Amino acid sequence: MRYLLKAPCLILSSLALSLSAQVLAQDLTHPRDMKISKSEFKRPDPAKYQVSLDNGLVAYVANEDQVPLVSLSAFIRAGKIDGHKEGAAEALAEAFLSGPKTMSSTAFKAALKRMTAEYSVTLHNKWIEINLNVPAEDLEEAFELFSTTVISPNITEANIKAAAEKATKDIKVDKNGVIIDGSSSVAVSKFHDIILKGNILGKKLVSSDFEDLSTHDVENFYTAYVVTGNMTIAVSGDINEKAIRKKLKAQFSSLINNTPPDRRNVPTIRRQKNKYHYFPADKLQTWLVIGHPLAPVAFKDETAFEIMNYILAGGHFWTRMFIETRDKYGLTNDASGYIEDQWDGSGSYSFHSSSRHDVTKQLYDNIMGVIYEIQKELVSDEELMIAHNALADGVYEMKFKDGNATARSFAIEKLRYGNHDHSKSYPARVRSVTKKDVLRVANEYLHPDAFQVIIVGEHINLQ
Amino acid sequence: MRHFIIKSLMALIFVGTNAAAQDYEYNLPIKEHIFENGLKLLVIERPGDNRVAAKIWTDMGALNEIPGEYGAAHFLEHLMFKGTPTLGARDWETEKPLIDEINITEKAMIAELNRARNDIRERGVFHDYKHEQTTPEIARLQKHIDDLERKVEDLTIEGTTMKWYQAFGGTRLTASTEQEYMHFDIDLPANRVDIFLRIEADRMTNAIFRKFDAERMILVEQRIGFLNRLNSRYLEAMEALVGRTSNVYIPEGYMTDFKNYTRQYERYLYDTYFIPNNSTLIFVGGVTMDEMIPKVEKYFGGLERKPEPTRYYGQEPLPSGEKRLIYRDNKLSPRVELRYQIPGVGHPDKPHFDVIKEVMRYRLQKTLDDKKIGGSVNVNTRVVHTNNYGLPSSIHFAALYGDTKKLDASEEAMLAEIKLLSEENILDEELKFAQKTLRTQWYRAASDPNQLNFHIGHFEVMDSWKTLKPYLEARDKTTVEDVKRLVKQYFIPDNRTIGKVIPRGAGQ
């Protein structure tokens, strides 16, 4: 503690001095009074990046030569909810992971390793994304592997088995029913199980689903969904754009331009009556998820809803929820809101947090307090201004921050909306949101009476 | 790569490095300017970028802490989000006397604690050793502080530092404190960089430690969040066994440390290290050095150079014996792990250990697979949260299993493989592949202005930003002989720590 004895003298003598002397020397104009220029950002023109093949496939090509790397991505509108055979999407994702039909999975993995590639396949509820990142010196080989994998994936029994192992994993509990490795993701998983029970979005695959699944079924799924009008491609990095456009035509012209099957009818997720769900776990913290299904947010309400969430719990340091739980009271490290991917239908809206056991009830109360508040009163002018700018100048700009981000953003937007009007109009739509809009959407889309409250950890009495 | 080469030529002229040693792959067109008060400004200009990744680095961290106050540097970072007289105060004239009184009261409380410490000490064992209990006077003073804090709370606007960044399109707002540094980060539209300079100059000079006790609990939350991970306690036990003197091997505070933090000690750290001549501003993106110099001058130019802070000067003694940890846990996967101390950044051998790490990753896995021992091999240099230090740290070779049957065979096979590497050259293709892996990793980091900024700043506090490029180039020049030499020199029994994770037996 020797520093402690020295420190007070140092502090008390210098604190006042430093605060007064240096304040005078510095420009401490309050940020609201500073003359800060408007952002000069203009969304890139998608037409400059777009390549349309004769078979209808749309790709986006962007040069980004700060480093000698290349990214290749495919986005396919086919997800867990699609197809007539359960597990087919999961097995196709595994097939994409194991490479093209023309080579063994082992050889494919060896090629990726040789290139020092990063390769991933992510299966969402309503879409699949395939991402490959390699050094530019390996572009030729990588492009060949990527395109042949997309055009002709290696669908095998082994893929089905691997998919079954992944999809049927359960949360482990001990003999007393206590969750062995409690975590935020366990709490979120329980939340999904509860709100999506009986809905295709929450389907739980079992071993028998995969026993009934053949490679023929997976091939049928592939043939039905991996068609040109149902996917987009993005290529970016240290590339010759002209050469890439040529390659795209050469490699992907053989893809068929069929109409994909109609999507399964996903019923609107029904809101349930407010309920508390407790799952014991043997950890030092309790995890809390509060939320409900989210009805499709109308296009006219989309940005108002985003702004409402940004102010309430938008996953950054300055939200009402963060301030009322962490900043003021030190109850948690984080409390944030999550809007689950909707893509043409219902999703969910939930708030996630964690705390030491003895303050979970207070954490819950404070979270609920800010939720009720945003439904009762208009947000302030300052809150609205900050949310406008944060979304229009911050989050939005980051989607186009470089060639890689731009190609990816446009490819996903095209797949989801069919055009680029959504991103074009976004800043104006954000800035047109009023305080009344925020209050209205807070009441239209937030329903505390339907909240499912999931506790993983120690029981609390919410009364 | 055309425009990068042109930019790099400009930078070479600017910093006067050796053009003959250039390799286009690591062009880092960093420009440097040092202000009269010692503040350093580094800029990588990326014309056409609409945004800029901005960070301010301070050369201080957990290395500067004292026992009993571990994590105090990290806590200081949290406190530095609590505003200044001009950011976060509703009425500074009213608040200031309250803040002063809190500080005076705490000083009295520390004096009382020091006076009474011998009386209240209870000689327990480990965690129940109590020497910081309370006295009626301490309780009275603490209550007075609590009352004052509540009054301050009514005069405070929370989150002010953050909100003004967000109001001007700031993203990726964060801060980080590790053993050697603290940095505050933001990504902004490039033409709005003034807001960063305004806020950070103020934060560096005028921070008010509001909400001290509430914020203390955030560290508790972070700590228990970390301890919830199955392997945390094992890793801390291993780290503590590998090193002897350096805070590199100590986590960001044990539970027993958090209650010890005082405003006085935090203020000491703040006043000592948060000075212009111990700080570096780094910008990567759509700004130029020419435009940044007057802007930085405007906001930071008035700050005075202060006495140079004492740098960490602890030295690890030479390793003198093999150490073993047996860690018993029923939830953690059984494993065997070998750790060796290695030099830090700034030592000529360090870049070669990056290569060795990549070589060993595949070699050990292949060896264990070929011998039908299997397991999942993990090779890394991560200690606490960080992979790289300017101080000696360690390299780790671990193999994880579903049960304990192969642990002994695995240890024997890994040790045999290491011995073999000290006697025989690795294959040239192994070396080339490891070097390519490292290059690709670097490109992935450098493709993101935020990560590139991080690496430049990290090198600046570990050694110097000027050694980043030579470091990267040195990895490409590693030879098979270098690998053999270093394995022979460093991977010796006396420099070895072996950890084993096994289940608890009955009755344990």
The token pair at A93 is: 């994702």
* B478 has pLDDT over 90: yes
Per-residue pLDDT at B418:
96
Mean pLDDT of B320-333: 94
Residue A342: pLDDT band by 50, 70, 90 thresholds? low
Chain B residues with beta carbon closer than 8 angstroms to that of A398: 51, 171, 187
Query: How many whole angstroms from its chain centre is CA A410?
Result: 16
Residue A199: pLDDT band by 50, 70, 90 thresholds? confident
DSSP state letters, A248-291: HHHHHTTS--PPPPPPP--PPPPP---EEEEEEB-SSEEEEEEE
Does the distance separating the beta carbons of B228 and A182 come in below 8 Å? yes
Per-residue pLDDT at B19:
34
Name residues whose C-beta falls within 8 Å of residue B6's C-beta, 6 or more positions apart in sequence.
Answer: none
| Residue B270 touches partner A, C-beta closer than 8 Å | no
DSSP state letters, B225-260: HHHTSTTHHHHHHHHHHH-SS-GGGS-S--HHHHTT
Question: Which chain A residue has its CA at the smallest distance from B48's CA?
Answer: A402
Q: Do A46-168+205-252 and A275-457 share a fold?
A: yes
Chain B residues with beta carbon closer than 8 angstroms to that of A29: 198
Q: Which of residues 18-77 of A touch B (CB under 8 A)?
A: 18-19, 22-23, 25-32, 34, 36-37, 39-41, 64-69
**CA distances from residue B400 to A70, B376, B379, B405 in whole angstroms, order as listed:** 34, 5, 11, 11
Dmax over CA atoms of chain A, in Å, equals: 81
Three-state DSSP class for B172?
strand
- Shortest distance, CA B392 to any CA of chain A (angstroms): 26
The token pair at A212 is: 């009934």
Per-residue pLDDT at B311:
87
Name residues whose C-beta falls within 8 Å of residue B20's C-beta, 6 or more positions apart in sequence.
Answer: none
The β-bridge partners of A299 are: none
Closest C-alpha to B342, from B357, B358, B353: B353
Residue B13: pLDDT band by 50, 70, 90 thresholds? very low
Taking the C-alpha atoms of residue A404 and residue A236, their distance in angstroms, rounded to an integer, is: 5
Burial B395-417 (b: 16+ CB within 10 A, else e): bbbbbbbeeeebbebbbebbbeb
Per-residue pLDDT at A463:
66
Domain spans, chain A: 46-168+205-252, 275-457
* B31 has pLDDT over 50: yes
Q: B98, B228, B231, B298: which to substitute to probe chain A, counting the most A Cβ within 10 Å? A: B228
Taking the C-alpha atoms of residue A291 and residue A193, their distance in angstroms, rounded to an integer, is: 12
* Residue count of chain A: 463
Q: For tokens 């301890």, what's the residue?
A: B227
Does the distance separating the beta carbons of A10 and B168 come in below 8 Å? no
The token pair at A63 is: 């040069």
**CA distances from residue B173 to A260, A316, B170, B470 in whole angstroms, order as listed:** 42, 8, 7, 30
- Shortest distance, CA A395 to any CA of chain B (angstroms): 7
Mean pLDDT of B31-48: 97
* A450 has pLDDT over 60: yes
Mean pLDDT of A52-70: 96
DSSP state letters, A117-185: -EEEEEE-SS-EEEEEEEEGGGHHHHHHHHHHHHHSB---HHHHHHHHHHHT----B-TTS-BTT--HH
The β-bridge partners of B398 are: B337, B378
**Element holding A220 (H helix, E strand):** helix A215-225
Taking the C-alpha atoms of residue B137 and residue A374, their distance in angstroms, rounded to an integer, is: 44
Residue A263: pLDDT band by 50, 70, 90 thresholds? confident
Per-residue pLDDT at A462:
78
Residue A193: pLDDT band by 50, 70, 90 thresholds? very high
The token pair at A148 is: 């042949």
With beta carbons less than 8 A apart as the criterion, state whether B79 and B212 touch.
yes
* B37 has pLDDT over 80: yes
Q: Give chain A's radius of gyration (CA, Å).
A: 26
What is the pTM for the complete model shown? 0.93
Instruction: Give the burial class of B241: count Cβ atoms within 10 A of its Cβ; 0-12 exposed, 13-18 middle, 19 or more buried.
Output: middle
Closest C-alpha to B462, from B225, B112, B179: B179
With beta carbons less than 8 A apart as the criterion, state whether B201 and B214 touch.
no
Chain A residues with beta carbon closer than 8 angstroms to that of B330: none
Per-residue pLDDT at A18:
45
**CA distances from residue A285 to A182, A191, A280, A455 in whole angstroms, order as listed:** 9, 18, 11, 10
Q: The domain A275-457 is classified under which CATH number: 3.40.30.10, 3.40.109.10, 3.40.50.300, 3.30.830.10?
A: 3.30.830.10
> For chain A, what percent of residues have pLDDT higher than 70?
94
Taking the C-alpha atoms of residue A323 and residue A328, their distance in angstroms, rounded to an integer, is: 6
3-state helix, strand, coil in chain A (%, to 5): 50, 15, 35
Phi and psi at residue A442, to the nearest 5°: -60, -35
Instruction: Give the burial class of B244: count Cβ atoms within 10 A of its Cβ; 0-12 exposed, 13-18 middle, 19 or more buried.
Output: middle
* B18 has pLDDT over 60: no
Per-residue pLDDT at A23:
42
Taking the C-alpha atoms of residue B37 and residue B298, their distance in angstroms, rounded to an integer, is: 13
Closest C-alpha to A244, from A382, A401, A407: A407
Q: What is the DSSP letter of B283?
A: E
Name residues whose C-beta falls within 8 Å of residue B444's C-beta, 6 or more positions apart in sequence.
Answer: A67, A69, A118, A133
* B17 has pLDDT over 70: no
Chain A residues with beta carbon closer than 8 angstroms to that of B225: 285, 333, 354
Residue A231: pLDDT band by 50, 70, 90 thresholds? very high
Candidate from B164, B202, B267 with C-beta closest to A28: B202
pLDDT tens across B330-374, in order? 989 999 999 999 999 999 999 999 999 999 999 999 999 999 999
How far apart, in Å, do the first and last CA atoms of chain A sit? Answer: 46
Does the distance separating the beta carbons of A398 and B51 come in below 8 Å? yes
Mean pLDDT of B466-486: 97
**CA distances from residue B158 to A327, B97, B210 in whole angstroms, order as listed:** 7, 19, 10
Q: What is the DSSP letter of B85?
A: S
Three-state DSSP class for A406?
helix
Three-state DSSP class for A414?
helix
Question: Which chain A residue has its CA at the smallest distance from B430's CA?
Answer: A114
Phi and psi at residue B68, to the nearest 5°: 90, -15
Chain B residues with beta carbon closer than 8 angstroms to that of A14: 271
Does the distance separating the beta carbons of B199 and A328 come in below 8 Å? no
Name residues whose C-beta falls within 8 Å of residue B349's C-beta, 6 or more positions apart in sequence.
Answer: B342, B343, B486, B490
How, if at all, do strands B30-34 and A285-294 pair? Answer: unpaired
Give the CATH H-level superfamily of domain A46-168+205-252.
Metalloenzyme, LuxS/M16 peptidase-like (3.30.830.10)
- Shortest distance, CA B221 to any CA of chain A (angstroms): 6
Three-state DSSP class for B441?
helix
Phi and psi at residue B42, to the nearest 5°: -120, 135
- Shortest distance, CA B483 to any CA of chain A (angstroms): 21
Q: What is the DSSP letter of A63?
A: E
- Shortest distance, CA B205 to any CA of chain A (angstroms): 7
CB atoms within 10 A of CB A301: 17
DSSP state letters, A204-216: ---HHHHHT--HH
Taking the C-alpha atoms of residue B434 and residue A214, their distance in angstroms, rounded to an integer, is: 40
Per-residue pLDDT at A276:
94
Closest C-alpha to A344, from A422, A417, A253: A417
Mean pLDDT of B243-249: 88
With beta carbons less than 8 A apart as the criterion, state whether A323 and A336 touch.
no
